[in-house]
Amino acid sequence: MSAEPRINDRIRVPEVRLVGPNGEQVGIVRVEDALRLAGEADLDLVEVAPMAKPPVAKLMDYGKFKYEAAVKAREARKNQVNTVIKEIKLRLKIDPHDYGTKKGHVERFLNAGDKVKVTIMFRGREQSRPEMGFKLLQRLAEDVSEIGFVESSPKQDGRNMVMVIGPVKKKAEARAEGRRKREAEAADQPETELATTE
């Protein structure tokens, strides 16, 4: 059975519950009468609820209905956002400058609305000190607490310790904010160019 509703002559039941073009209830009528009404109004008879007893049919412009449904589906797809998990890897003995750089990456990912999987890799004897890795992950979580929250707390996974930080802002909000910022910068751009040419 196809997803397409049956229209006009394809409706093979003796009678239908008819709904008018503006949503008004006409009542239970024979299919022949419903088709005649549809022809007079230059509309299609579309079966909207085939499982009802009797089936519900509506008078409408089927081409326009299909077009509007396609537009709605396209809009829904456009507004749909995919959550991406970015990964940052750290070592237990990380240099303060390197830590700052990695923290900057985490902040950038969270501001963009992405989740961040932070992995600490243990080597050799470091494996016997998991509490050091836990402290490092806790420090990172506190440093980015304004823009992210710990979604899954640190867990030991073989030679690694893993923690997931989720963004406070949703991806759609982050995307809209970035768009506004770019538009504001574009609006400011011509003024600064004028100032430099004078």
Dihedral angle of Cα 147, 184, 76, 167, to the nearest 10 degrees? -10
Tell me how many degrees the CA angle 30-32-33 measures, rounded to the nearest 5: 70
User: What does the pLDDT read at residue 152?
Assistant: 86
Per residue in 128-182, pLDDT (tens digit) is: 888 888 999 999 999 998 888 998 889 988 889 999 999 887 776 777 777 788 8
Average pLDDT of the chain, as a whole number: 84
pLDDT tens, residue by residue, 7-48: 887 888 888 888 888 888 888 888 888 888 888 888 888 888
What is the three-state SS of 6-38?
Answer: CEHHHCCCCEEEEECCCCCEEEEEEHHHHHHHH
Question: Can you give the C-alpha Rg of the chain in angstroms?
Answer: 30
pLDDT at 105: 93
Is 124's pLDDT higher than 90? no
**Bigger pLDDT: 103 vs 169:** 103
- pTM summary value: 0.52
Residue 173: its pLDDT value, please? 74
Containing 161, the helix (H) or strand (E) segment is strand 160-167
Mean pLDDT of 67-81: 82
Position with higher pLDDT, 10 vs 191: 10
